[in-house]
Amino acid sequence: MEGIRVLTLKAIEATPSTFQDYGQVVEASPDGQEFGPHDAQLDLIQGTPRFYIMHIENRSLKFSSITHHASVTQCLGSVGGHVWYLGVAKSSIVDSNEIKDNTGKKIVQSRSGHSYVPPNIEDVQVFKVAGSKFLKLNRGTWHAGPLFKANSMDFYNLELSNTNVIDHTTHYFKKDNGVVFLIDE
């Protein structure tokens, strides 16, 4: 890959404190415990929720693009608690009513209708998720994955019924920045 830089990122264990800038880590709680801040704080009001099991094959520990959903929170967790990884960057959605770009940052209009600033290479983090927990991504959190070592894995996924059709914005690091990320465990 001529002209392409491979950046190796060390995976960080996903915990409530390490992942708080991107969403929540939700772990098992006792049966009968009332709803509270330990539960996924969801935003599913802009459509019909879709909860399903995704079967994914051949997702090695590298990525060159990252996606966000501007209209919904998303929850991901592995069926069986197997180890997986997720590349993330903070939401960079810009309120179109308040766009005053005096910072020199590039503002892009998505096909979905919202505006955003493309994620910076330096802002990408990788998290390792293991055991009986799932990640709730904040609305607009950039994410790459789930990624894993096995040949295939199944994941619980909660989003909207049309998220991947009308609310799917992707930034291509390889094309736009000449970068591919490689995960170091």
Q: Find the mean pLDDT for residues 75-92.
A: 97
Give the SS3 label for residue 122.
helix
Tell me if 155 is assigned to some domain: no
The CATH number assigned to the domain holding 124 equals 2.60.120
Total domain count for the chain? 1
pTM: 0.93
Angle 52-25-81 from CA coordinates, rounded to 5°: 55
Tell me if 34 is assigned to some domain: no
Residue type, 25: V
Tell me if 14 is assigned to some domain: yes
Lowest mean pLDDT among 65-74, 102-111, 162-171: 102-111
Residue type, 104: G
For residue 132, pLDDT over 80 is answered with yes
Which tokens is 91 given?
């939401």
CB of 150 closer than 8 Å to CB of 41: no
Tell me if 37 is assigned to some domain: no
Tell me if 21 is assigned to some domain: yes
Q: What is the mean pLDDT of the chain?
A: 93
Tell me if 118 is assigned to some domain: yes
Provide the domain limits for residue 5. Answer: 1-25+42-90+103-133+163-184
Tell me if 96 is assigned to some domain: no
Tell me if 138 is assigned to some domain: no
